[in-house]
Structure 1
Amino acid sequence: MYDRYQGLIFDMDGTLLDTEEGHRKAWSEVLAKYDMELDLEKVIALNGSPSWKIAEFVINSYQVDMDPYKLAQEKFDIVEEMVLDMVKPLPIVEVVKSYYGKRPMAVGTGSMHGFAERLLQHVGLKDYFMAIVGADDVQHHKPAPDTFLLCAQLMKVTPDSCIVFEDAPFGLQAAKAAGMDAVDVRYL
């Protein structure tokens, strides 16, 4: 079905892996210390963003003087164990398995690189990918195209010959900005 593409790029959270429950639980625990909570309906628009962007949104909505990077780090310090306990592969993994060895594939995620590697290793998917690009690998995050452009570069394929699998509006915008076709996995 995707044979005409030279490279396949997958978002991780919400596309390859169901990590939402673990992330939500970690945010709830951290924010409760400051008498704040995550407004899931408003934050959904930030899906695919690095944690510091979500922290910045929460801080701004509560109009408090906090460092978003520090708050994001607090969440990061507890999220890995929670996510590892709850993570489940999503159906798009079948596409990964069917194209393994046939096309270069990469993961382009708003999660930190090391965290993405550990999660993919945990579910047995890390070796399927030629490259992993995390939030700490690029200066400009989704909806900027940098994540996906770096994936294409690392796979040694042109951006216009890639397809991106995404579940978030920022990621879909990033794919378009990179000149790549995209599949919104929420509608598969």
Structure 2
Amino acid sequence: MYDRYQGLIFDMDGTLLDTEAGHRQAWDEVLAKYGMKLDLEAVVALNGSPSWKVAQFIIDSYQVDMDPYKLAQEKFDIVGDIVLAMVKPLPIVEIVKAYKGKRPMAIGTGSMHGFADRLLQHVGLRDCFDAIVGADDVQNHKPAPDTFLRCAELIKVNPGSCVVFEDAPFGLQAAKAAGMDAVDVRNL
């Protein structure tokens, strides 16, 4: 079905892997220390963003004087083990398996590179991907095209010959800005 594309790029959280419950639990634990709660409906628009952007949104919502990078680091410090215990591959993994070895593939995620690598190893998918581009690999995050453009560069495929699989509005915008076709996996 995707044979016309020379490269396939996948978002990770919410697209390839169901990590939402683990991320939510980590945020709940960190924010509880400060008497705050994560408003899921309010932050859903930030899906695909790095944790420090979510932290900044929370800080702004509560109008508190905190460092968003420090708050995001606190979440990062505990999220790994929580997510590893809960992560499940999503149905889109079948596309990855179908194209493994047939097309270059990359992960373009708002998660940190090392965390993405660790999760993909854990679920047995790391060897399916030729490249990972995480939040710490680019300066401008989704909805900017940088993540997906870097993926195309690493897998050595012209951006216009790539398709991106995404579940978040920011990611879909980023794919379009990169000149790539995009598949909204929420509609599959």
**Structure 2 equivalent of residue 40 of structure 1:** 40
CA distance in 2 between partners of 1:111 and 1:100 (Å): 22
Q: Deviations over 1:1-35 (max 9, x none)?
A: 00000000000000000000000000000000000
Normalization by structure 2: what TM-score? Answer: 1.00
Query: How is 1:79-158 mapped onto 2 (pairs within 5 angstroms)?
Result: 79-158=79-158
Once residues 151 and 145 of structure 1 are traced to their aligned partners in structure 2, the CA distance between those partners, rounded to angstroms, is 10
In the alignment, the residues of structure 1 paired with residue 101 and residue 33 of structure 2 have an alpha-carbon distance, to the nearest angstrom, of 47
Secondary structure of the structure 2 residue equivalent to 1:64:
coil
SS of residue matched to 2:147: helix
What is the percentage of aligned positions where both structures have the same residue? Answer: 84
Which consecutive unaligned segments of at least 5 residues does structure 2 have?
none
What do you get for the CA RMSD once the two structures are aligned?
0.2
Which residue is equivalent to 1:18? 18
Aligned to 1:70: 70
In the alignment, structure 1 segments of 5+ residues that lack a partner are none
Give the equivalent residue in structure 2 for 1:171.
171
In structure 1, what is the Cα distance between the partners aligned to 2:167 and 2:108?
12
Secondary structure of the residue that 1:66 maps to in structure 2?
Answer: coil
Query: Which aligned runs of 4 or more in structure 1 are off by greater than 6 angstroms?
Result: none
TM-score, normalization: structure 1? 1.00
Question: 1:113, CA displacement in angstroms?
Answer: 0.1
The residue matched to 2:9 in structure 1 has which SS? strand
Q: How many residues align?
A: 188
Name the residue aligned to 2:55.
55
Partners of 2:127 and 2:52 lie apart in 1 by 28
Q: Which amino acid aligns with 1:187?
A: N
